Amino acid sequence: MNKLKCVDLRQQEQALVTEIGSELKAEAPTAHISHLPILFPPKSVDYVVVTLDPVYQSLEQATDQRFRHFMHDWEAFILHDCLKKQRRPYYITSLSKAVIAAPNEKKRREKYYARWLPSFCSEVDALLAPEGVIVPLGSKTAKYLQQQALPRPLTSALTHFSAQAAHWHQRIPQEYPAEYADFKAKFNLTQFLRSADHTLMTLFQVEKSIFETEIPYDLMRATLDALKSEQNAFTESHQELFFTYLRQVEDINFSITKP
C-alpha cells in the first residue's frame, strides 16, 4: 500500500470536513461535525464496499479519535467475515467521511454527497485494482452511485444490514433452505469472534504503519468484549444476514473472476 497516497487521502478528508463544517456552523451554530476516518487495507483490493455515510453507534463513539467506520457490531464483522472468506482483498468505506449532528441532518448529509464524490473517486483510484469493482451496500447507495461517473464498475447492491431491511435478510435463506440449514449447523461463534479480533488487529496495524499511531488495544478489547457479552443476542436475524452476505459476495466474486 502506498503510504503517501493514504496520507494524502486522509488529509483531503480532514480538509473537506473543515470546509463543510464552516458552512454548516454558519447555517446551524449548534451543529456538530467531525471526521470519521476509514481503516485502510494492507494492499490494493478487488472490492471496495461503500455506504453513503459513516456507520457508528453513538456520537460519543464517533468522536473518539481512535474509532473508525464500520468496526463496532455484529453486522460489521459479519460483512468483514464474509468478504474474508472469498480470499480476495477488500476495503469497506463510506462516501462521506463526516459525522453530522444537526437539525434536518439527513437532508444536510445528502446535500454534501456531491462534495465527497471526487474524494471517493480518488480513494477508489488509489486503493482498488484496475479490474476491481465497487460494491454498494444497500439500495440507497446503489441508486445514488448509479447516477455518478465512477472510475470502476458498479456491481449489484449488497442487502443493507439495518433492522429496517430485516425482511430482505430472510429472502435468500428461504430460497435455499437446505444450504441455510447446513450453514447454521456448521456456524461456530467462537471462530467468528476470533476472525473479528484478527480483522481489528490487522487493520489497526496497517493504520500504525501508515500514520505512526498507537494501536488502541483498549478500544479493540472493549469492542470484542461488547460482542462477547451479547453472545446470546446473536440472533436468527444475524444468521440470515450472514448467509445472505455469503451468497451475495460469492455471486460478485464469480462475476469478476477471470477464467
Q: Could you list the residue range(s) of the whole structural domain that residue 244 is in?
A: 3-256
| Range from 49-53, 101-105, 110-114, 226-230 carrying the lowest mean pLDDT | 226-230
Mean pLDDT, residues 133-144 taken together: 96
**Residue 256 reports pLDDT greater than 70:** no
Decide if 71 contacts 29 (C-beta within 8 A). Answer: no
**Residue 246 reports pLDDT greater than 50:** yes
Mean pLDDT, residues 67-95 taken together: 93
pLDDT at 229: 84
Of the pLDDT bands very low, low, confident and very high (cuts 50, 70, 90), residue 61 is: confident
CA 200 from centroid of its chain's CA atoms: 13
Mean pLDDT, residues 167-194 taken together: 95
**Residue 157 reports pLDDT greater than 70:** yes
Name residue 38's amino acid.
I
**Residue 259 reports pLDDT greater than 50:** no
pLDDT at 16: 97
Exposed, middle or buried, 130 (CB in 10 Å: 0-12/13-18/19+)?
A: exposed
Mean pLDDT, residues 147-154 taken together: 97
pLDDT at 230: 66
Per-residue exposure over 65-101, b if at least 16 CB sit within 10 Å of its own CB, e if not: eebbbbbbbbbbbbbbbbbbebebbbbbbbbbbbbbe
Decide if 103 contacts 33 (C-beta within 8 A). Answer: no
Please state whether the predicted TM-score (pTM) of the whole model is above 0.85: yes
Instruction: Report how many domains make up the chain.
Output: 1
The whole-chain average pLDDT of the chain stands at: 92
